């Protein structure tokens, strides 16, 4: 089972911008590795919540569609809210 996320490049960085994204039901994320520059991303929170309930989310590479280009990446770190059932931030590494 292949997991695919539509991701947007994030231009607005920082704590305030991340909080605004979370209020809008989106998740800030970062993609790094393979000798390329790190890219800040935005993902849809509800799609991530559904996908992270499967083992494939953690075990297999996921596909990130960024500006029409598909990038294979593995989930490296998931930061969760301490009380609410929400994901706060995701780290991906290029596969």
CATH code, domain carrying 59: 2.40.240.10
* Sequence-ordered alpha helix ranges (H) in 7-81: 15-23, 45-51, 56-59
Classify residue 11 as exposed, middle or buried by CB count within 10 Å of its CB (0-12, 13-18, 19+): exposed
- For residue 33, the enclosing domain spans 4-94
For 61-84, write each residue's pLDDT tens digit: 999 999 999 999 999 999 999 999
The mean per-residue pLDDT over the stretch 38-54 comes to 94
For 4-36, write each residue's pLDDT tens digit: 999 999 988 899 999 999 999 999 999 999 889
Here the tokens at position 56 are 């494939």
Q: Is 9 helix (H, G, I), strand (E, B) or coil?
A: strand
- In percent, how much of the chain has pLDDT > 70? 99
Are 95 and 73 in contact, with CB atoms under 8 Å apart? yes
Residue 2 confidence (pLDDT): 83
Q: What angle do CA 95, 54, 36 make, to 5 degrees?
A: 20
Q: How many domains does the chain have?
A: 1
pLDDT at position 94 over 90: yes
Distance CA 33, CA 14 (A): 21
Mean per-residue pLDDT of the chain: 93
Residue 11 confidence (pLDDT): 86
pLDDT at position 88 over 80: yes
Here the tokens at position 24 are 């809008």
């Amino acid at each position: 089972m292949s997991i695919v996320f539509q991701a947007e490049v994030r231009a607005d960085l920082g704590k305030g911008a991340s909080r605004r994204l979370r209020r809008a039901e989106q998740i800030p994320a970062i993609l790094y590795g393979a000798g390329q520059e790190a890219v800040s991303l935005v993902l849809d929170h509800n799609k991530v919540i559904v996908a992270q309930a499967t083992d494939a989310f953690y075990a297999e590479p996921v596909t990130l569609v960024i500006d029409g280009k598909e990038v294979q990446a593995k989930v490296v770190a998931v930061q969760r809210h301490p009380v609410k059932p929400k994901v706060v931030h995701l780290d991906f590494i290029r596969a």
